[in-house]
Amino acid sequence: MLVDNGFGWVVDEAETELYPTVALRTRALALIDATEGVTVNLAEIELRTLDVLEVEGVEFKPDEEDRPDGGVLVDQASGVEAIRSADRLRGAERRAKLKQLAEQRFAFQVLRRRLDGDE
């Protein structure tokens, strides 16, 4: 599910510190945590950031003044990010989507409880 949605790198990070022989249940819990991290938790992080900074939106753009002699170039991937940011959700529409995503925590809690054998 993570890989199909473009989050394959999250799977790698979730499994990096797991022993290869770890129980399937432990691996499943790690993946649930990681998935919660890239969905619900990030939505809460963005909502909190907007509220504390009291701004309408937070944008991220590559620094075009970053020069080769500065030692770090804006790479091709960042350039792609800049193009994608042009059509990203903004304003009230984005905030509504963030709230909708933040409300999905229950599903993760239930799955975790079922893996723990509490349900």
Partner 1 sequence: MATSSFLTDVEAALGMAVTLDYASKAQQHDLYEAYVLTLLLQAAHNEGWTVELRDGLGSTVTSAVFRLGPGRLPSRGYTFAHMSKSGKPDLEAHLGVKVSGRTPIGVSPATGSGRLLHEFDLLVLPATDANACRTGNADPGHSVVVVHAEMKYFGGKLPLPVGRASVGMVVECALTGKSVLVTNQLGYTVQDLVEHHGVTFRYRVLPGNPKAEYHLVQRFRSLL
Smallest separation (angstroms) from partner 1 to the CB of 76: 11
Positive or negative, the Cα torsion across 36, 93, 7, 71? negative
Query: 60 vs 118, which CB is nearer to partner 1?
Result: 60
Query: 59 vs 118, which CB is nearer to partner 1?
Result: 59
Query: 69 vs 118, which CB is nearer to partner 1?
Result: 69
> Two tokens at 90?
């903004």
Smallest separation (angstroms) from partner 1 to the CB of 7: 6
Positive or negative, the Cα torsion across 71, 76, 82, 85? negative
